[in-house]
Amino acid sequence: MDYDRLVTVIRKLALEAGDRIMEIYEADDFDVKVKSDDSPVTEADEAADAIISAGLRAAFPDVTLVTEEQAASHAERAETFLIVDPLDGTKEFINRRGDFTVNIAYVENGVPTRGVVYAPAKARMFFTQADGSAVEEDGPFHRDTPGNLRAIRVSEPDNAALMVVASKSHRDQATDDYIGKYAVKDMKSAGSSLKFCLIATGEADIYPRVGRTMEWDTAAGDAVLRGAGGRVVRFEDHQPLVYGKEGYANPFFIAYAPAVDLKEA
């Protein structure tokens, strides 16, 4: 893979999809449907998916593409593939809370090595460069030319005063029980894959997820976090989270800065 070209393409497609999402987000009303798994889907999800999938298939026709909004792609299996969530945080979008993202990732041998996470309503963009390192780009964003890029790095946390980030829409007692094992200075809530990015920038130290997620929810944020020196491990045994699993469902996991003293589940 030509990583320079890959990063250029996925960054541009994320911006194009984000522009279309915001057109719909800022409209007076938009259609919301319910999928077979009872999760919501909007016209913004579908419009963003059409932009991204067409762009990726044109640019990388020989690379397997898995995208949340195309159920037929969920039967695909490959060692190396592109994986997309065109609008992660649909509930945040519907409730106009702003914590939604465009996620595009490239997975190699079970590891998300390159990715982009774009939060158009918050004007924040995070991605991996060709060398795999993670950056945040300052807006305003131009599709063809990146603006000011800042290298991002995970924190050197104080285990006696940790910053925890947890899901805004999927918080439960099991999550709170696990967080209770740590000495917490402060806690923040965030939607979508922004939680990974807050750890990548050092704004948070740990994100435990005790609940259902799919690989397209996490791959891009995982790539950014890895590029910033972070880790994502399975909740039950602290082994690395791997991608390309049958059905693309994730186990429970923990995303964190490596200096965090992880507690057992």
- Residues annotated within a binding site: 68, 85, 87-90, 217
CA distance 63 to 73: 12
Cα separations (Å) of 225 from 5, 29, 122, 193, 199? 21, 35, 19, 10, 7
User: Which ranges constitute the DSSP H helices of 26-96?
Assistant: 43-59, 90-94
Phi and psi (nearest 5°) for 136?
A: -110, 135
Start-to-end CA distance of the chain, whole Å, equals 38
Nearest to 10 by CA among 79, 90, 83: 83
CA distance 167 to 189: 6
Give the residue numbers of the binding site for Mg(2+): 68, 85, 87-88, 217
Under a CB-based contact definition with an 8 Å cutoff, are residues 156 and 247 in contact? Answer: no
Give the residue numbers of the binding site for substrate: 68, 87-90, 217
